[in-house]
Amino acid sequence: MARIKSEDFINSVADSLQYISYYHPLDFVQAMYEAYQKEESVAAKDAIAQILINSRMCAIGKRPICQDTGIISAFVKMGMKCRFDSEMTIQEMVDEGVTRAYTSTVNPLRKSIVAPPMAGRKNTNTNAPAVVHVEMVAGDELEMHIAAKGGGSENKSKMAMLNPGDSIVEWVRKTLPTMGAGWCPPGILGIGIGGTADKAMCLAKESLMEPVDIHELVERGPANTLEELRLEIYEAANSLGIGAQGLGGLTTVLDVKILEFPTHAASMPVAMIPNCAATRHIHFQLDGTGPATFIPPDISDWPEISMQGGTDVKRVNLDAITKEEISSWQAGDTLLLNGKILTGRDAAHNRIQNLLLEEKPLPDGVDFNGRFIYYVGPVDPVGEEVVGPAGPTTSTRMDKYSEMMLNKMNLAGMIGKAERGDATIDLIKKYQAVYLMAVGGAAYLVSKAITNARTVAFEDLGMEAIYEFEVKDMPVTVAVDSRGQAVHKTGPTFWQQKILEKASI
**Sites of contact with ligand SF4 (CB under 6 A):** 66, 68, 150-153, 183-184, 276-278, 391, 440-441
Our CA dihedral for 455, 477, 492, 411, rounded to 10 degrees, sits at 50
Our CA dihedral for 462, 466, 468, 471, rounded to 10 degrees, sits at 80
Neighbours of 198 (CB within 10 A): 12
CB of 274 to ligand SF4, least distance (A): 8
> Whole-angstrom Cα distance, residue 291 to residue 117?
33
CB of 54 to ligand SF4, least distance (A): 10
SS3 297: coil
Per the omega criterion (within 30 degrees of 0), is the bond before 291 cis? no
> Whole-angstrom Cα distance, residue 468 to residue 222?
53
CB of 393 to ligand SF4, least distance (A): 6
CB of 73 to ligand SF4, least distance (A): 13
CB of 441 to ligand SF4, least distance (A): 3
CB of 244 to ligand SF4, least distance (A): 11
| Shorter beta-carbon distance to ligand SF4: residue 181 or 236 | 181
Distance of CA 264 to the CA centre of its chain: 34
The residues near 275 (Cβ < 8 Å, ≥ 6 apart) are 149, 153, 187, 188, 189, 190, 208
Distance of CA 106 to the CA centre of its chain: 23
The residues near 164 (Cβ < 8 Å, ≥ 6 apart) are 265, 266, 267, 268
CB of 493 to ligand SF4, least distance (A): 23
- Number of DSSP helices (H) and strands (E) in the chain, helices first: 15, 19
Q: Which residue is nearest to ligand SF4 (CB)?
A: 150
